[in-house]
Amino acid sequence: MARRKVILAEGQIYHIFNRGVEKRETFLDKRDYLRFFKTSEYYQMANPEVRFSFRKRPKVGKQTIPKKTQKSVDIYAYCLMPNHFHFLLKQNIQNGISTFISRLTNSYTRYFNIRYKRIGHLFQGSFKAVRIIGNEQLLHVARYIHLNPLIDYLVKDLKEFNFSSYPEYVGLKKGISSPDEILGQFQSISDYEKFVLDQEDYARELKSIQRLLLEDH
């Protein structure tokens, strides 16, 4: 296995992304999205006692992770697209991100393969990682992640896309993200909304750049 070019260090923040093998769709309906979402929440735990599929299922509305449990990563932002996913993650412990993504994608792949009667890998090789250098890049990447559904014309209003952290940022629901690091830099939620939506055209240009990056890996 090739050595990862980007070193994943404790206390650092990274843009993590990957897509389906052969560019295939990895989320086919709402049930798939919700499964990936709940699996993401569960594997934030640094030391889960059992595999996600074996856990004691919480009641609806209850958190999967106990409040006092140490998290291997903090999820600052995320977006689940039909054939790929994005995370903005802070690594809290050594190998936190690698362990989190490995557990998450392996668990979800088992679920997906059983449900759709297939075998083999679901995601394309190793996940991609870009270290966030500086606050400006942090804000820019969070904005870019949130704009993905708009960039790909999945919705006309980002508030209608339930499989990203954007509705959590604007107060429409509670979820798995920790938005304070980013929202705390704006006077209000509406200021953050304006910041995101004012950059739609710029994000479309960035989308083409990222596609090139994905092709190179």
What is the model's pLDDT at position 55?
Answer: 54
Is residue 183 within 8 Å of 189, Cβ to Cβ?
yes
Q: Residue 106 is part of a domain; what is its CATH number?
A: 3.30.70.1290
Instruction: Give the CA radius of gyration of the chain.
Output: 17
Q: Mind listing the pLDDT tens digit for each residue in 63-95? A: 555 555 789 999 999 999 999 999 999 999 999
From the list 195, 208, 203, 193, the residue with the least C-alpha distance to 158 is 193
- What is the model's pLDDT at position 170? 95
pTM, entire model: 0.85
Confidence of residue 45 (pLDDT cuts 50, 70, 90): confident
Residue 42 lies in a domain: yes
Total of domains in the chain: 1
121 domain residue, yes or no: yes
- Residue 6 maps to a domain: no
Residue 2 belongs to a domain: no
Calculate mean pLDDT across residues 23-51.
Answer: 88
Q: Is residue 130 part of a domain?
A: yes
Amino acid making up residue 86: H
Task: Determine the average pLDDT of the residues in 195-214.
Answer: 65
106-142 confidence digits (pLDDT tens): 999 999 999 999 999 999 988 999 999 989 889 989 9
The reply to whether 7 falls in a domain is: no
* Domain coverage including residue 207: 13-215
In a domain, 1, yes or no: no
